[in-house]
Amino acid sequence: MPTGIWLDGAAREASSGRRFAVEDPATGEVLTTVADATVDDADAALASAVNAGADWAATAPRERAEILRWTWELVTERAEQLALLMTLELGRALPDSRAEVAYGAEYLRWFAEEAVRIGGRTAQAPAGTGRILVTRQPVGPALAITPWNFPLAMGTRKIGAALAAGCPMIVKPAEATPLTM
């Protein structure tokens, strides 16, 4: 499992070279260490997301949907591994972690289906003097900060929505549960 900062399709160390320990709260045992991102790393993530923005926004909704569907399949295939990881990292009972993985994976499937349905609407102006046209379009990078207590489900809920809409993502996981994210 990568323990670096995931940026531009690869894991890398923090610009400071610092790492912090991720502990099993049930035993206090250190599971591993992960890169400790800095402000410079956050700036690099934003620059990367901005650079990817136009291309991702121009990606056809069907293709975005297929990528999200494929991601749902991967999470589903690896459900047991993810549940075990979440249990170790969070100290939660394994059946509850399995439930969160299933719940979180469904956000990816839901937004895969919604990606091709993002449209707009027209309506009569309240004064009756014309029509109002509402269009939906990507607005740029989105930032997701995931909570420690539902790291996978809240991550997929935020990531799925942004990617389906055509927005690139930056994710800042909770320090207590960075491995799940």
Sign for the pseudo-dihedral over CA of 36, 14, 80, 168: positive
**pLDDT surpasses 90 at 1:** no
pLDDT at site 130: 93
**pLDDT surpasses 90 at 43:** yes
Q: Which residues pair with 34 in a beta bridge?
A: 20
Across the range 119-138, mean pLDDT stands at: 90
**pLDDT surpasses 90 at 91:** yes
- Which residues, in sequence order, are CB contacts of 89 under 8 Å at separation 6+? 22, 24, 31, 151, 176, 177, 178, 179, 180
pLDDT at site 2: 85
119 pLDDT band (50/70/90 cuts)? confident
**pLDDT surpasses 90 at 94:** yes
pLDDT at site 113: 96
pTM, whole model, 2 decimals? Answer: 0.90
